Chains A and B, each alone.
Chain A
Amino acid sequence: MPANMNNLIKSLKILPWTFRQPLTVQPKQSGTPISDLFFWIRNDEFEVFFELLNLDYLFGVMEKTQVEIVFFNKDGEVFFEKNIELLSGYRQRLNITELLDHGCGSSISGDYGTFAIFHLSTPQIVREMNAFIAERGYISYRYKKSPITMYVHGNYDAIGKVESGYIPLGGASFLKRIYNLQYQFSPENKYRIVLINPCEKVKKLSIKTTSLIDGRKIRENVFKINPRGTLYLDLEQFSEPFRISIEGRVVMARPIIFSFKEREMDVFHG
């Protein structure tokens, strides 16, 4: 069969999965700042930090600039917003835990959720290239007062800031998609999973556990997550290595995984 015909057949096969289903919905207005939804948690175990970068400075723009940080609770509701001035050419580490403990006052809502960082100006070159400035940077977690922190980068272009508020930009899927984490979960570790809904509507996601010994399904649980909302829970431990899959009508339901062994913690995108 000619290569062109092969390619045509392949394209037609995946059309139900790609037609009008982008990974990130394009904002209608040029200059809309976009951010990932970064996971925050407030308890005795963790301290949370974020590395603010002056993106204007990186593009050669020297005027003063700010970011807006917006906090959402686990149901996706806004409970705190603050503008922060960026330094030019410096590293600027934001202590999220301190901001929640001392900056929010009584408005703090719950023990975990997400936050977004919006850069309030867009360099001219970015507009000229029809692109959107996006914060997908680096959050870090200190576990049980460890001297070092663990980093993970942003993964979704999840949310945009517009005049009327904050719009989820995650792509929804017509059909149920399965995201198979290419990761081997070990019986020696404990794990927690974070799933965030970057879509406009409530999403039902199932987490399926499969044995890596014989391929059998071990467990399946179903959860509903509000738009901009967060699911954070312990993964059940098993006596054999396993992998997990996430199924739902989201273009890519990629989780954050926390892995624990004794006093050590690691964090990564699955």
Chain B
Amino acid sequence: MAYFPILSAPYCQGETTVYNFSPNNWEVAEKIDQYLYLTFAYEGVWHNLLLNQIGYGNCHVLSRKDLTSNLPDDVTPFISLSKSFLEKTSKELPDTIINKTNFPQYRSSLGLVSQHAKTSYQGELTPFSSRASLLTFAPFLQFGNNIENYILIVNLEISPKKRIEKLEIYDARKKKLCKQLDIYSNHVNIISLDDMGFNIDDLPVIICRGMASVPIYFSVLDKGKSLSLEHTNPPASLVILGNRFGVQNYLKNYWFLQCQPI
């Protein structure tokens, strides 16, 4: 099941473009219209609102501001395509019946738009296990007058219940805890990276022992004059072939032991 979040970030509106055509010609995909759904977690259930129907070969742009009448405050909207109708509410995230490809997977443009600029990356989100964890290294901090740096921690799980876990930020060399704060499931959590005294030679390490997510790094100049956005891959991407997830487990165990919140 593929979901596409509408991101949030300071000085920006999130904008997500969803595409109803296959990214390749060789993995089986039905050329049919699909339903466009808005899904969000609220009061312990998933709410699935039918927005539109997209013809095959077409796309649809959705902005957070287009959806404010449908959304309670402070929820993260997730967009999806489905070949069939979904229940209006559900106790689990709907397993949408969709065209599925692997090389690559169906992606959307996940963007942020300010008054002056726009940035995006191609991405998708499949729900994480509630027992998974996060380890990411962050060589993205940018320095200069009026430059701000954030990490957007994006989580999606099957259960709509709000979970709270601790996010920990360390210096990779000193292994010293710089910041610890709560993050929430099924949400885009926005965290500043500028209030820990990092300088250009420092490498932040970001850990969450109880929740996995997609970490997206966001830098902004002059409150939106210029924007920079990129996500990191999981630690398994430091290697290819072989037992990549065994390598990932090793890295997580190593760093979770090395970095301890005292």
Using CB atoms and an 8 Å cutoff, list the residues of chain A in contact with chain B. 10, 13-14, 17, 23-24, 26, 34, 51, 53, 55, 57-60, 88-91, 93, 125-126, 129-134, 136, 138, 146-153, 157, 175, 177-184, 212, 215, 243, 251-252, 254, 261, 264, 266, 268-270
From A17, A60, A131, A181, name the one whose CB has the most chain B CB atoms within 10 angstroms.
Answer: A131
Q: How far is it, in angstroms, between the C-alpha of A130 and the C-alpha of B242 when the chains are bound? A: 5
| CB-based contact A152/B139 at 8 Å | no
Q: Measured between C-beta atoms, what is the minimum distance from B50 to chain A in Å? A: 22
| CB-based contact B120/A268 at 8 Å | yes
User: Which of B27, B121, B235, B247 has a CB less than 8 Å from the CB of A268?
Assistant: B121
| CB-based contact B103/A268 at 8 Å | no
Please give, as numbers and ranges, the residues of chain B lying within 8 Å of A55 by CB-CB distance.
238
Q: How far is it, in angstroms, between the C-alpha of A73 and the C-alpha of B24 when the chains are bound? A: 29
| CB-based contact B241/A59 at 8 Å | no
Please give, as numbers and ranges, the residues of chain A lying within 8 Å of B28 by CB-CB distance.
10, 13-14
Please give, as numbers and ranges, the residues of chain B lying within 8 Å of A146 by CB-CB distance.
221, 226
Query: With A14-B27, A182-B109 known to touch, is A34 a contact of B226 (CB < 8 Å)?
Result: no
Query: With A13-B28, A130-B243 known to touch, is A147 a contact of B145 (CB < 8 Å)?
Result: yes
| CB-based contact A91/B118 at 8 Å | no
Extra 10 A-B pairs, beta carbons < 8 Å, given A91-B141, A91-B202, A131-B240: A14-B26, A60-B258, A130-B241, A131-B246, A132-B239, A148-B142, A148-B147, A150-B228, A180-B24, A184-B59
Nearest first, the 5 A-B pairs at minimum CB distance are A89-B173, A131-B242, A130-B242, A151-B230, A178-B25
| CB-based contact B239/A180 at 8 Å | no
User: Which of A129, A178, A182 has a CB less than 8 Å from the CB of B19?
Assistant: A182
| CB-based contact B228/A151 at 8 Å | yes
A/B interface sample: 22 pairs, CB < 8 A: A53-B203, A89-B203, A93-B200, A126-B242, A131-B239, A131-B241, A131-B244, A133-B239, A138-B139, A147-B142, A147-B144, A147-B146, A147-B221, A148-B228, A151-B217, A151-B228, A153-B233, A180-B21, A183-B109, A184-B17, A212-B59, A264-B116
Would you call B61 an interface residue if the criterion is a C-beta within 8 Å of the partner chain's C-beta atoms? yes
Please give, as numbers and ranges, the residues of chain A lying within 8 Å of B217 by CB-CB distance.
151
From A26, A138, A147, A179, name the one whose CB has the most chain B CB atoms within 10 angstroms.
Answer: A147
| CB-based contact A184/B221 at 8 Å | no
| CB-based contact A147/B106 at 8 Å | no
**Chain B: how many interface residues by the 8 Å CB criterion?**
71
Would you call B84 an interface residue if the criterion is a C-beta within 8 Å of the partner chain's C-beta atoms? no
Q: Measured between C-beta atoms, what is the minimum distance from A60 to chain B in Å? A: 5
Please give, as numbers and ranges, the residues of chain A lying within 8 Å of B229 by CB-CB distance.
151
Interface flags for B150-181 (1: CB within 8 Å of A; 0: not) read: 00000000000000000000001110000000
Q: How far is it, in angstroms, between the C-alpha of A132 and the C-alpha of B242 when the chains are bound? A: 7
From B23, B139, B233, name the one whose CB has the most chain A CB atoms within 10 angstroms.
Answer: B139
User: Which of A51, A136, A157 has a CB less than 8 Å from the CB of B233?
Assistant: A136
User: Which of B120, B232, B250, B255 has a CB less than 8 Å from the CB of A266?
Assistant: B120
Q: Measured between C-beta atoms, what is the minimum distance from A130 to chain B in Å? A: 4
| CB-based contact A90/B142 at 8 Å | no
Please give, as numbers and ranges, the residues of chain A lying within 8 Å of B106 by CB-CB distance.
182
Q: How far is it, in angstroms, between the C-alpha of A149 and the C-alpha of B219 when the chains are bound? A: 9
Residue of A nearest to B217 (CB): A151
Would you call B126 an interface residue if the criterion is a C-beta within 8 Å of the partner chain's C-beta atoms? no
Residue of B nearest to A9 (CB): B28
Query: With A138-B230, A151-B228, A152-B230 known to touch, is A34 a contact of B122 (CB < 8 Å)?
Result: no
Q: How far is it, in angstroms, between the C-alpha of A190 and the C-alpha of B220 when the chains are bound? A: 22
